[in-house]
Amino acid sequence: MGQEQNPFNFKRVKRETKKVTGLIGIREDPHLGLGAVGAEEENVDMTPEDLQAASDYYGEIMAAKLGGENKEQIKERFRKIDELMVAPEIWEKALKYFHHRRDYFIEMARHVRNKGVSHRRPHPFQVGCVALGIEPDSIKGVKYEPHEMYNFKVQPGPRTGRYKRCAERGALEIARNFSKVIAAIITVSTETNTGDPSKTEGRVLHPCFDCRNMYRGLLRGGFIREDTIICMVNDANDQTVIEETTVGKLLSIYQDDLPNIPA
């Protein structure tokens, strides 16, 4: 384990995670990274251990969600996602759905946060994220589904861009395989700073520079929207702090990222 230089790919997921009984069709997105990690092996700054971990984590999560599909079923799933039209009333319903269940989603993110893999001691840096997606449903036509993930870094050392395995990126990568568009992104952490300049005033953890760039890309692709809700929760103290805004508003206070974005 961890000795081979195998890239992250579906076969490897299939072999290493016993829960996978069939193929896993993973959607590639230039702004995310899950599918692209193995494809660009030569310039990957992830270690083989990181790749193995990505394979294990995502393989198990995807397998649990899908339960084994054949190629045709995978194609069909993506076709239905692409065909789903999100009318304004569906969008409004999704936002309401989020607000009615906000405490539940916060609890979900809080729970998955505990799996976060960090090398910082004595207090590991852990973030949990839930991405609420709007998805096709064979009976109702449309449904709203949460997808959760935690941050992980298998070995110490800096990571940037899509190789930085933030909870937000993980949750959105998984959601990308099921959802047409994301209505809300919920994060829970005891942290208030990722290490890069933040405008959070010490209350909650804002998405890091790499995640903000990911959001900018996903906005252009339509997977998230200007009015997708961002709900950031800090539970370091007895009193849980909740800051709720939208992707558009959040990015507007980080305009000074723009000159620093790598081409």
Q: Which residues are at the interface with Zn ion (CB under 5 A)?
A: 166, 208, 211
Q: What are the structure tokens assigned to 42, written together? A: 């030569």
Q: How far is the CB of 204 from Zn ion (least distance, A)?
A: 14
**Spatial distance between the Cα atoms of 158 and 34, rounded to a whole number of angstroms:** 18
Angstrom distance (rounded) from CA 24 to CA 1: 21
Return the number of the residue (166 or 171) whose C-beta is nearest Zn ion. Answer: 166
Rounded to a whole number of angstroms, the minimum distance from the CB of residue 258 to Zn ion is 17
CB distance 71 to 28 below 8 Å: no
Least Å distance, CB 19 to Zn ion, is 28
Please say which residue, 129 or 229, places its beta carbon nearer to Zn ion.
129
Provide the minimum distance between the beta carbon of 41 and Zn ion in the complex, in angstroms, as a whole number.
23
Q: Which is nearer to Zn ion, 32 or 166 (CB)?
A: 166
- CB atoms under 10 Å from CB of 30, counted, come to 12
Task: State the nearest-atom distance from the C-beta of 211 to Zn ion, in Å.
Answer: 3
- CB nearer to Zn ion: give 109 or 211: 211
DSSP-assigned letter for residue 226: E
Amino acid at 92: E
Residue with the shortest CB distance to Zn ion: 166
- Could you tell me how far CA 187 lies from the centroid of its own chain? 10
Nearer to Zn ion, 94 or 129 (CB): 129
Beta strands, E only, the chain: 127-137, 141-150, 181-189, 224-234, 241-246
Measure the CA–CA gap between 113 and 29, rounded to whole angstroms. Answer: 24
Contacts 24+ apart (CB under 8 A), 92-97: 93/144, 94/132, 94/134, 94/144, 94/183, 94/184, 95/183, 95/184, 95/227, 95/229, 97/132, 97/144, 97/183
Pick the closer one to Zn ion by CB: 2 or 195.
195
Closest approach of Cβ 95 to Zn ion, in Å?
Answer: 24
